[in-house]
Amino acid sequence: MRRLLRKKEIKLNGKRVNSDLTCEKGDLIEVYTDISSLPAPVFSDENIAVFNKPAGTLSEDFYLSVKEVFPSALAVHRLDRNTRGLIVYALNAVSERELLAGFKNRTFRKFYLAEVVGSPSPAAATLTAYLYKDAESGYAVVRSSPLKGYEKIKTAYKTRKNGEFTSLLEVELITGKTHQIRAHMKFIGNPIVGDEKYGDAAFNKSRGIHRQRLQAYRIVFRFGKDSPLAYLDGKEISVPEEIDL
């Protein structure tokens, strides 16, 4: 409602208004919004809702749209602006607690598709490194050995297909630090295609690519038998694969 007021999409007695007003019996309120533009959930029940966030949309902005579909929705994690794919919301305080714990304790399995420059060697591996994110620039740096301020990260990948200049990987995010996949792939010399922050700028420019080729396409939930969400244990949710060579 605040967004609609801000955009003057609400009329009170025929006049557009942009702030809360006290209404009286008999007043006519008209609201102008296109509900066809609202996102549809990939999965939902009384406790959780899972959506497919488009690339180029901030998680915070997408959350506002989700709130129009599920007013009780609570954000429990996020995706980078240019990463498309699955994003999960709690629909009540109990599920919020359980989902936050699942993401924090890394009990959920999260899988991504990524097109990277070159061909990783070996073709499949579980990588361990250390990541530091600069608070001012928002840039993440990865190194192979621990250093004060750096946090341990783990990223697993396996190569699905090799092209002439790029490869398609399935990546499992074992830890979940900001920009982890993007920074880790850059660190091993195989940056995400189209990544404007960690990618190969010359490669992207030569091919006219401006949007990173990274999709959160599958998630598997894990809950203990005593959890209120135990009925979702082992539940796998996925969206159609949008990235290929």
pLDDT in tens, 40-84: 999 999 999 999 999 999 999 999 999 989 999 999 999 999 999
Angstrom distances, CA of residue 59 to CA of 14, 84, 121 = 34, 10, 33
**DSSP assignment of the chain, as one string?**
-HHHHHTT-EEETTEEE-S-----TT--EEE---GGGS---SEE-SSEEEEEEPTT--HHHHHHHHHHH-TT-EE-----TT-EEEEEEESSHHHHHHHHHHHHTT-SEEEEEEEEES--SSSEEEEEEEEEE-TTT--EEEESS--TT-EEEEEEEEEEEE-SSEEEEEEEESS--TTHHHHHHHHTT-PBTT-TTTS-HHHHHHTT--S--EEEEEEE----TTSTTGGGTT-EEE-------
Q: Which residue has the higher pLDDT, 3 or 153?
A: 153
Mean pLDDT, the chain, rounded, equals 94
The per-residue pLDDT for 6 is 81
Using an 8 Å Cβ cutoff, are 164 and 135 in contact? no
Q: What's the pLDDT tens digit per position in 74-122?
A: 999 999 999 999 999 999 999 999 999 999 999 999 999 999 999 999 9
Residue 139 has pLDDT above 70, yes or no: yes
> Is 80 considered catalytic here?
yes
Digit-coded pLDDT (tens) for 199-230 = 999 999 999 998 899 999 999 999 999 999 99
Q: Which of 27, 61, 80, 134 is flagged as catalytic? A: 80
Over 90: is that where the pLDDT of 9 sits?
no
